[in-house]
Structure 1
């Protein structure tokens, strides 16, 4: 059974950048745009909603971290993110 948006919302946590860096190195981090709700994104990925997820990727609302973002987060030791694990991915959204 696939998790609901409500169930996933209860799993959203806060993490510091240095905790997430290992996931970057294995290619598992996905940046969620500020206008999207992280639990909804997680639900769509878990349900294999390729149309919606594909549209978000096409419009840049879901992406891998850019070199500029990585450099900024490396420089800002206080950077914190909302996170949600949807294996094998870790969704992250800047605070």
Structure 2
């Protein structure tokens, strides 16, 4: 007797699918819990973002500024050399 194996993806999908409770009151409670978790995450995310912005602004205001050159300009010293474009050799 020969046995064959067939993979049933519907059974696998059904094993991990979230199931809604059948009782209407329990559905309402689960929905309210999910909404509460969402509100808590948004609330803390807002405070974390505001805290990061405040810390960044405080850092920029309190850090020591580098000394600037006279007349408020920054001077970058260096040497440069003009490099001419070489002519391409004529190919015959």
What TM-score, normalized by structure 1, do the two folds share? Answer: 0.19
- Where is the strand percentage greater, Structure 1 or Structure 2? 1
**Higher relative contact order (Cα pairs below 8 Å, separated by 6+ residues):** 1
- Where is the helix percentage greater, Structure 1 or Structure 2? 2
Larger radius of gyration: 2
